[in-house]
Amino acid sequence: MLMTVDHAGGIFDAAHLHGDNGARWVPGSPLPLGEFLTRWVTHLCAPTFVMLAGASLALSTERRRSAGDQTGFIVRRGLLIAALDPIWMSLGFASYHVFVLQVLYAIGLSLVCMAALRKLPTAALLGSAIAIQCFGELSNHVQPTAPALRAIWNLLFSGGPVVGSLFCAYPLVPWLSLMMLGWAFGRWLVTPRSPLAVASLCACVGAGLFAAFLVVRSIDGYGNWNLHRDSNDILQWLHVAKYPPSLAYSCLELAIAFVLLAFCFLVERSDAMKTAFSPFALFGSTAFFYYLLHVHLMAGAQAMLNLDVHANGLAKTWIGAALAIAILAGPCWFYRRFKAAHPDSWTRYI
């Protein structure tokens, strides 16, 4: 639902902020409060998607341990997810003027990698993920000049132009490390534990990650991909580099994610609370299906209505997002029922 707000901003609001990259940000540029916070609250989405995809993979692998061809299914599904970014999502985001490799590319190819990497010890994956997050910014010091090598480097580490109108916004390796972290978390969840025990761990992890964020951001050097603070204003502290995901960004967003997860596991202890939050579960259980429709719905509405993106952009962003969520609730409800009735069909891929 937060993700919808961000994409609505890109469609309905010409002033929507995208300055989450140190290479393209001009120091001293203003950070309008409403525009900044509308963008900032959505930073939570991508790292949480990727991390929970890793946790989900660990849980589903354990659940289907006796099933055959798990590796083949993971690879096929990963390739499908990655392919849908340039083939389908680029229509909604850019009408095929640009073909962008975004979060589906990152999730899909990370799944392909995890088909093999999941056979490694969990401790090795966790350690490797932390190392990638801590030292990934060093890849910024490598700037291949040969076009082919530069394209590969952009796909894997830094993001940027690939070839022709193909652009990589979500380089594989840093996002893969978030899926590896999620896998380690999922493997820990495989052992039956009380919701309170899981909530306690999530809260501790969240607190530790937030402390790491404060250290990295206070140093204001390495750790935020050259997106430095202009002052000690709170917005400057929160202005973290997402493209590619910096250490400061990952620590802050995963800290928030784990605190929210702690809350969700506490909700599991109360039937009344579960009932109150059940509307959110509708979109949680149909997240990929929803993702494949929401941008095209809003982009289509903008194409038909031709709204002035330079007027009342914030209002149109939030209203447009709310309407998209309301309109897609019905299709998501029907798809959830269909998927529950056909759990081993093509619905496993969506």
At residue 167 the predicted structure's pLDDT band, cuts being 50, 70 and 90, is very high
Calculate what percentage of the chain has a pLDDT beyond 70: 100
Q: Mean pLDDT throughout 167-190? A: 97
Distance between CA atoms of 320 and 328, rounded to whole angstroms? 12
Q: Label residue 69 by pLDDT band (50, 70, 90).
A: confident
pLDDT value for 275: 87
For 113, other C-beta atoms within 10 Å of its C-beta total 18
Burial of 49 (0-12, 13-18, 19+ CB in 10 A): buried
Q: How far apart are CA 302 and CA 320, in angstroms?
A: 10
Question: What pLDDT, on a 0 to 100 scale, did the predictor assign at position 277?
Answer: 86
Cα–Cα distance between 156 and 171 in angstroms, integer?
A: 5
Query: Is residue 206 within 8 Å of residue 256, measured between CB atoms?
Result: yes
Asked if pLDDT for residue 99 goes beyond 90, the answer is yes
Q: Are 8 and 39 in contact (CB under 8 A)?
A: no
Write down the pLDDT at residue 344. Answer: 86
Query: What is the C-alpha separation between 285 and 289, in angstroms, rounded?
Result: 9
Domains: count for the chain: 1
Residue 66 in this model has a pLDDT that exceeds 80: no
Where in the sequence is the domain holding 106, given as residue range(s)? 2-349
Percentage with pLDDT > 90 across the chain? 90
Least confident range from 8-22, 54-68, 286-300, 322-336: namely 54-68
Report pLDDT digits (tens) over 223-255: 999 999 999 999 999 999 999 999 999 999 999
The neighbour count for residue 106, using CB atoms within 10 Å, is: 30
Statement: the pTM of the whole predicted model exceeds 0.85: yes
pLDDT grade, residue 331 (50/70/90)? very high
Res 287: pLDDT:
95
